């Protein structure tokens, strides 16, 4: 089952504590030694979909400005988890609003940044 190492960047020192408290409530997260605004965490998951959901949940926490996955172990994923694309091509097609809005890497805008003008 996937084990994922993440680095979270929080917006400021005050919110760091709140983020860590929220993380501690999640049974599947281990927290490492904090460096400034960067929090290393490890996420354990039961499967592929689960892992993605958990990473996304953490990245979407308030005050987390940035979440980067730096380590991913999938040694327990068997071929059975690897559907072929042709099979997928015949699968039903999720549409429109049901397309997941992933935030796997970049997360949200840094709060110090003003929204651009157009």
Interface with other proteins (CB under 8 A)? 1, 3-7, 9, 11, 30, 32-42, 44, 48-49, 51-52, 65-66, 68-77, 79, 81-86, 88-89, 92-102, 104-106, 108-110, 112-118
Contact 7, 64 (CB under 8 A): no
Whole-number minimum distance, CB 25 to other proteins, in Å?
Answer: 18
CB of 9 to other proteins, least distance (A): 5
**Dihedral, 20, 25, 29, 30 alpha carbons, nearest 10:** 60
Q: Which residues contact 26 (CB under 8 A, 6 or more apart)?
A: 54, 57, 58
CB 24 to other proteins: min, Å: 15
């Amino acid at each position: 089952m996937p084990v994922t190492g993440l680095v979270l960047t929080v917006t400021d020192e005050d919110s760091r504590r709140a983020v860590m408290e929220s993380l501690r409530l999640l049974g599947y997260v281990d927290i490492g030694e904090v460096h400034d605004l960067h929090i290393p965490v490890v996420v354990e998951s039961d499967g592929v979909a689960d892992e993605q959901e958990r990473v996304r949940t953490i990245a979407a926490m308030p005050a987390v400005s940035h979440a980067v996955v730096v380590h991913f172990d999938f040694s327990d994923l068997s071929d059975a988890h690897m559907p072929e694309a042709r099979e997928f091509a015949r699968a039903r097609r999720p549409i429109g609003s049901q397309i997941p809005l992933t935030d796997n890497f970049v997360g949200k805008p840094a709060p110090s940044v003003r929204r651009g003008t157009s």
